[in-house]
A and B are shown apart, each in its own frame.
Chain A
Amino acid sequence: AQSVTQLDSQVPVFEEAPVELRCNYSSSVSVYLFWYVQYPNQGLQLLLKYLSGSTLVKGINGFEAEFNKSQTSFHLRKPSVHISDTAEYFCAVGSIQGAQKLVFGQGTRLTINP
């Protein structure tokens, strides 16, 4: 079974500052890793994903994430945030074996202050 831990439930930052949202995962098999964003009253939108290959993954809206197998982490970063980045961010893990399901972390609420 897989599990995901998002280490921060809330992250407040000032506009144009850098941000890192932390995600650790646990799995006994190889996994795929994802970051989703959820704006208020919306569904989830895929930001980026790691399947294999380069450990630095670039996504939409200027976000990137780095897969670290030894630390079982997949932290999300953005060098300069905007007010429009205010949202809930979910890290998720999927297994290459077995059922086609994603397991989500508890979410991190990113709040951008002017």
Chain B
Amino acid sequence: DTEVTQTPKHLVMGMTNKKSLKCEQHMGHRAMYWYKQKAKKPPELMFVYSYEKLSINESVPSRFSPECPNSSLLNLHLHALQPEDSALYLCASSQPRTGVTGGYTFGSGTRLTVV
């Protein structure tokens, strides 16, 4: 299995809702990432987990809460989002020490719309 699977593919939520994005990989990778991509823009790093521990938080607002319950799963919990948070949320995985050299494996993303 050489894929990163993200669910759901599309999500529409209100500003008072609580929702979660899910990411799963079975490649034995021990580093997982959340990226946010606005339309016609490059991906921007949000969080990095290495060996199930949060290693990088790029000053992301607290309405985004990541969770890594085990080495195969990565969640992003969403609460009280704003319309400007609408974007494509991409998950990626890699080996921690070789992530930058090996390149990441990206999922297809969750298209989030906040109304």
Which chain A residues have a beta carbon within 8 Å of chain B's beta carbons? 32, 34, 36, 41-46, 49, 51, 90, 94-96, 99-102, 104-107
Contacts and interface: CB of A to CB of B under 8 A. Distances in A.
Contacts of A107: 40-42
Interface of B: 4, 6, 31, 40-45, 48, 50, 55-56, 90, 92, 94, 96, 99-101, 103-109, 111
Contacts of B108: 41-43
Nearest to B6: A43
A105 B42 CA distance: 7
Nearest to A43: B106
6 contacts: A41-B109, A43-B92, A45-B106, A95-B100, A100-B94, A107-B40
B107 A43 contact: yes
A35 to B, nearest CB: 10
